[in-house]
Amino acid sequence: MDIKVQSKQKLNNANFNSCSLKFNAKMRVIPLIKAKVLLTTDQFINSKENYMKITDKTVVQFHYVLKDEAGEEIESSQGSEPLAYLHGANNTLVGLEKALTDKEAGDKFSVTLQPEEAYGERQEDLIQRVPVKHLQGLPSKNAKWKAGMVAVVHTEQGQRQVTVIKAGKFMITVDINPPLAGKVITFDIEVVDVRAATDEEVEHGHAHGVGGHHH
């Protein structure tokens, strides 16, 4: 009711000799009515007891934009499924997990991480020569490895991203440091969903379903 009275007052006060003002006054009516409906929905949603906070053994879905120190976008989940992870199970970067703790669905925030809470400091002794056939991820069949390209190698610890330093015919010199080692990075995060993990997820130590493991 308040909103209606306000919009009536605005209509009465508007200078109807001015075409544009008249137009504006009319335009206002619809958004105000909509706003009222939205308010009611918001109040319902914002009865925060319905919302689960991110704690250990919750599965979190989130969208992210990853930026370097200069603010340039490195990677983003926009346009694809949100990422899902099991909180408290070492599934994501230490600093990111810390920043996500106690957040809820709908929360948006940015967090800047120093290397020690992200991909670690660069280690200079992580340069290795590996046979070409062990490198995966060439953009096309006929492409050749060149310095600066990122490849995937399989190690005992699973898949790893490496950076090509020097490419020979049979052997490639690669830097095994993660590409973002030693870098200060910023995440813009939007929490999409928070739910309790299933017993199976806790047992497996990772999230299943959208954005998580499929097996």
Helices (H) and strands (E) in the chain, counts: 4, 9
Separation of alpha carbons 168 and 122, rounded Å: 24
Nearer to Zn ion, 61 or 163 (CB): 61
CB of residue 86 to Zn ion, shortest distance in Å = 9
Cα dihedral sign, 191-197-200-201: positive
| Alpha carbon distances (Å) from 128 to 34, 163, 172, 174, 176 | 62, 10, 8, 5, 7
Q: What angle do CA 105, 61, 68 make, to 5 degrees?
A: 100
Nearer to Zn ion, 57 or 204 (CB): 204
Nearer to Zn ion, 87 or 183 (CB): 87
Binding site for Zn ion (CB under 5 A): 204, 213
Nearer to Zn ion, 60 or 172 (CB): 60
Separation of alpha carbons 13 and 6, rounded Å: 10
Nearer to Zn ion, 78 or 159 (CB): 159
CB of residue 201 to Zn ion, shortest distance in Å = 7
CB of residue 159 to Zn ion, shortest distance in Å = 17
**Could you tell me whether strands 83-86 and 73-76 are parallel, antiparallel, or unpaired per DSSP bridges?**
unpaired
Separation of alpha carbons 137 and 21, rounded Å: 60
CB of residue 204 to Zn ion, shortest distance in Å = 3
CB of residue 72 to Zn ion, shortest distance in Å = 35
